[in-house]
Structure 1
Amino acid sequence: MLLIAEKYVLWFLFYSFCGWVYESILVSIQEKRPVNRGFLNGPLCPIYGIGAVLGIAVLGDVHQPILLFVLSAVGACILEYVTSWAMEQLFHTRWWDYSHFRFNLNGRICLLGALVFGIGGVVIVGFIQPHVASATQMIPLSMMHWLSFVLIVLTLLDTVITVAGIVDFEESLGQLAAVVAKYSDAMREKVGDAVDVVNDASGRVSDMVEDAVSGPLQSGREMSTELMYKIKDAADSVFNRQQRRMIESFPRLRTDRNDETLQQLRAMFERLNRRHQ
């Protein structure tokens, strides 16, 4: 029983790594920049590993390709929808959004994704997994014990560090608004009425960031760049490493309360990155 569990641990990590490679390549092409796509710090996308081992365990005896495709597509969509909902409830943040795709369900899953996962299920269960299982059998028993133990401990530590770093992401966005609001009056004096800072009860600074991105400031592009760098410095002081990584890794990241500020901040970062290219 222990040996079977250790094999599933290794398979989970292997397919999580494959998912990370797939996601990183796909999103890097879409964003036209290198993207380290992963919820964890390590090169793993756990949802792919979970989906793969569930498919192997439940569908391993299904040999009819069409049935395997349908079951894989439906099962993966259920897993993706539940994961999206659960992560949003836990972190008040939506990590991916398919609203821009046709035939999507609440932006959490879409038809194209279902087709990809269905094909992936057929390929993994029908073709890849037999070779992976054979390779696993070649690992000496003692090495299997230590390898699975060390890797799962490292993955659990990575998970704890990641969750601890991002659990207060919404609060950090609110802190950013408060930090920028402290010098908003000074900014207004320098640029006159060109920057209309909205400092309402929620403390949002989206209009200020929007002006920095669009560049309509009275003194021209130079002042716009100065304003953007000041906001960037404020963001660097508020967000921890995990939160900054999430902003970079998930281009469609959305939050419940401060999403407008987040999207304007992301647009500002993208403009600054283009200026350095």
Structure 2
Amino acid sequence: MLLTLEKLFLWFLFYSCCGWVYESILVSVRERRPVNRGFLNGPLCPIYGTGAVLGIVVLGQVHDNPVLVFVVSSIGACLLEYFTSWAMEKLFHARWWDYSHYRFNLNGRICLLGAIVFGIGGVVIVDVVQPRVAEVTDMMPAPVVHWLSFVFLVLTALDTAITVAGIVHFEDSLDQLAAMVAKYGDAMKERVGDAVSGASDMVGDALGDSLQSGKEMSTEFMLKVREAADSVFNRQQRRMIASFPRLRADRNNEALQELRDAFDKLRRGRK
């Protein structure tokens, strides 16, 4: 019984890592920048490992019926994704992913395209991948399985604890960022207003100088926003903002989007 549970855990880690690779490549291509995707620090997306193992346990006996595997995988994955999105939002007061921009979505938590992808993935895992994975783990001596499971369980537990401890006060950090952005914004508006009023009776080159001054102020503002983010967000929180481009906060989401805009504009400005 223990050996079976340990193998299930190793399978969970394997598919969590595969999910991390898939998500990282997908989001990196979409964002046109390297994105280390994943809720944990390590290369794991636990929702993929959980879904895969549940699918293996539930559908392992009906692998000869790919239509049934596809349907059950699609529905099961959508239920798991919807519940995970809801639970994480309740725990951390933030929406980690959002499918509102996709057609046929449900509250932005799941969408039809995702259901199709997960259904196909379920068929591939149950019929093609898992038999090979099971062969590998079956060839491992029991002591190796025991030690691997123990070591990875400790590492995963530590990673989870560090991650949760780092992001539990994310909303408070966002409050601080919002206050600092508002202060910088008011200061910039005053400076821009003085520049415009001082150039109101000028034309030609003077107008061009005024516009250039406005651009410099805009860059300065974005740099101030980035500096504020570095000071109020810890490492875990900064990683989450980078890893989840569609992360939305329940409170002060405007400040979060202002930060994203600043990062994007500064990144484009360096190219």
Q: TM-score w.r.t. structure 1 length?
A: 0.88
Amino acid corresponding to residue 267 of structure 1 in structure 2 = D
Amino acid corresponding to residue 252 of structure 2 in structure 1 = N
> Cα offset for 1:128?
0.6
RMSD, matched Cα = 1.8
Report matched runs for 1:124-203 at 5 Å. Answer: 124-182=125-183, 186-192=187-193
Asked if the contact 1:179/1:234 (under 8 Å) is kept, the reply is yes
Asked if the contact 1:217/1:224 (under 8 Å) is kept, the reply is no
Counterpart of 2:232 in structure 1 is: 238
Distance 2:46 2:81 in 1: 11
Distance 2:92 2:141 in 1: 41
Asked if the contact 1:165/1:242 (under 8 Å) is kept, the reply is yes
Counterpart of 1:205 in structure 2 is: none
Distance 2:52 2:125 in 1: 8
1:271 to 256, 259, 265: 265
Distance 2:158 2:244 in 1: 22
Distance 1:267 1:92 in 2: 21
Counterpart of 1:206 in structure 2 is: none
> Cα offset for 1:176?
1.1
Quick one: structure 1 residues 20 and 248, their matched pair in 2 at CA, closer, same or farther if it must change by over 3 Å?
same
Asked if the contact 2:56/2:126 (under 8 Å) is kept, the reply is yes
> Cα offset for 1:190?
3.0
Amino acid corresponding to residue 135 of structure 2 in structure 1 = S
2:217 to 194, 219, 223: 223
Distance 2:3 2:128 in 1: 23
Counterpart of 1:202 in structure 2 is: none
Asked if the contact 2:52/2:122 (under 8 Å) is kept, the reply is yes
Equivalent residue of 1:60, what SS? Answer: helix
Asked if the contact 2:16/2:46 (under 8 Å) is kept, the reply is yes
Counterpart of 1:51 in structure 2 is: 51
Q: In proportion to residue count, which structure has more helix?
A: 2
Counterpart of 1:253 in structure 2 is: 247
Counterpart of 1:204 in structure 2 is: none
Counterpart of 2:206 in structure 1 is: none
Q: TM-score w.r.t. structure 2 length?
A: 0.90
**Residue 107 (str. 1) matches residue 101 (str. 2):** no
Amino acid corresponding to residue 264 of structure 1 in structure 2 = E
Over residues 51-101 of structure 1, what are the superposed CA-to-partner deviations in whole Å (9 max), with x where a residue is unaligned?
000001111101211011000000000000000000000001011100000
Amino acid corresponding to residue 226 of structure 1 in structure 2 = E
Gaps of 5+ in 2: 197-209
**Residue 18 (str. 1) matches residue 18 (str. 2):** yes
Counterpart of 1:212 in structure 2 is: none
Counterpart of 1:67 in structure 2 is: 68
Distance 2:114 2:183 in 1: 44
> Cα offset for 1:143?
1.3
Tell which deviates more after alignment, 256-265 or 50-59.
256-265
Distance 1:194 1:162 in 2: 46
Distance 2:69 2:184 in 1: 59
Distance 2:120 2:195 in 1: 53
